Amino acid sequence: MKIREATLEDTQKIARLAIQMWESHKIEELVEKFCDYMSKESSIVFLAMADECAVGFAQCGLRHDYVEGTGSGPVGYLEGIFVEKEYRKKGLAKEMLETCQEWAKEQGCTEFASDCELDNEESLKFHLKMGFVEANRIICFTKKLVDSVIGRTVTVMVDRPLGSYHPDHKDMYYPINYGYVKGIMAPDGEEQDVYILGVSKAVEKFTGKIIAIVYRNDDVEEKWIVAPEGMTFTKEEIKKQIYFQEQYFDSEIVM
C-alpha cells in the first residue's frame, strides 16, 4: 500500500469513496466539487492505494480566516478523511493524515486543525488518538432571508413543460410548467427548481416574479413559485397547483 497525491484524473475514484461518507450528495456533484477543489493551489487530496485500487482519501487545504483554537495563519485543515472498511485499522488513516500535515508544513503552516459533528463519536476518537486537542464545541445557526428573494424577477428554463411526464416517474404528470433558474444554486447543490403558475400553455422559457417559496421539512430541496408580473395566488391556490409533486413531502409555503 502507498499514499500518493491525487490528480484531476482521479476525481471519479475520490468521489466513489467520498459518497460513502457524504451520502446526501451525488457522484456527479462530488466529481465537480473535487475538480474545483483540486484546481486551487491551496488545496490537495491524497489517495491510499492498494495495488491500483483507491481504498482511501484525505482532503486538506489552507484556511486563511480564523480557525477555532489557533493563533496563526494560514492553518492547515483536514477537510475530510475516509478509508474503506476492509482496509481500516491498518494505519492508513494515520499515514494519510501525516502526509497532509507534512504538506501543510511545506506551505509554511505551524498549526493543523480539523472538525467533526458533535455526535460523531468515531471521528472524535480518531482525532484525539491522532494528537488533536479539542478546541471548542459550537452550535451553528442559519436563517432564511425570504424577503431577499420574493419579489425578484427571474428567467426560468423549462425542462418539464405543462403536459409532460417526469423522466423517471412516468406516472407523474405535470399540470403546470416546471423548470430551473440557470446559475442559481439551491440548498441541494443543484440549480434552483421553480413551479410556474398562471401560464396555461407549455413554454420553453419564462420570465416572471417570485411570489412564494416552498420549503420541504423532510428534504434539503426548496422550490420557488414564479408567476407573471402582477398576478397573485393565495397559499391554498398554490398548494392545490403543486400538490401533484409536493404530496410526497412535508412542505411549507412561505410568502
- Please give the pLDDT value at position 35: 93
Name all contacts of 159-164 with Cβ < 8 Å and 24+ positions apart: 161/202, 161/203, 161/204, 162/199, 162/200, 162/201, 162/202, 162/203, 163/202, 164/202
Residue 200, Cβ neighbours under 10 Å: how many?
Answer: 8
Instruction: Give one DSSP letter per residue of 5-54, joined into a string.
Output: E--GGGHHHHHHHHTTT-TTS-HHHHHHHHHHHHTSTTEEEEEEEETTEE
- Please give the pLDDT value at position 218: 85
Q: Pairing state of beta strands 112-113 and 75-83?
A: parallel
User: Could you read off the pLDDT of 143-181 as tens digits, one per residue?
Assistant: 766 567 899 999 999 999 999 998 888 888 999 999 999
Mean pLDDT of 99-128: 95
Domain ranges of the chain: 2-129, 146-254
User: Could you read off the pLDDT of 187-205 as tens digits, one per residue?
Assistant: 778 899 999 999 999 999 9
- Please give the pLDDT value at position 113: 96
Residue 148, Cβ neighbours under 10 Å: how many?
Answer: 8
Block residue for cell numbers 409555503:
253
CATH topology of domain 2-129: Aminopeptidase (3.40.630)
Rounded (10°) angle between helices 11-18 and 27-38: 120
- Please give the pLDDT value at position 100: 97
Helix (H, G, I), strand (E, B) or coil at 179: strand
User: Could you read off the pLDDT of 209-251 as tens digits, one per residue?
Assistant: 999 999 988 888 889 999 999 999 999 999 999 999 999 889 9
- Please give the pLDDT value at position 186: 83
Dihedral over alpha carbons 216, 221, 225, 226 (to 10 degrees)? 180
Mean pLDDT of 28-39: 92
- Please give the pLDDT value at position 147: 61
Q: Which CATH superfamily is domain 146-254 in?
A: Inorganic pyrophosphatase (3.90.80.10)
Q: Pairing state of beta strands 112-113 and 43-50?
A: unpaired
Arithmetic mean of pLDDT over the chain: 92
pLDDT at 142 over 90: no
pLDDT at 106 over 70: yes
Instruction: Tell me the pLDDT band of 24, cut-offs 50, 70 and 90.
Output: confident
Residue 208 near residue 173 (C-beta atoms within 8 A) = no
Percent of the chain with pLDDT over 70: 98
Residue 55 near residue 49 (C-beta atoms within 8 A) = yes
pLDDT at 105 over 70: yes
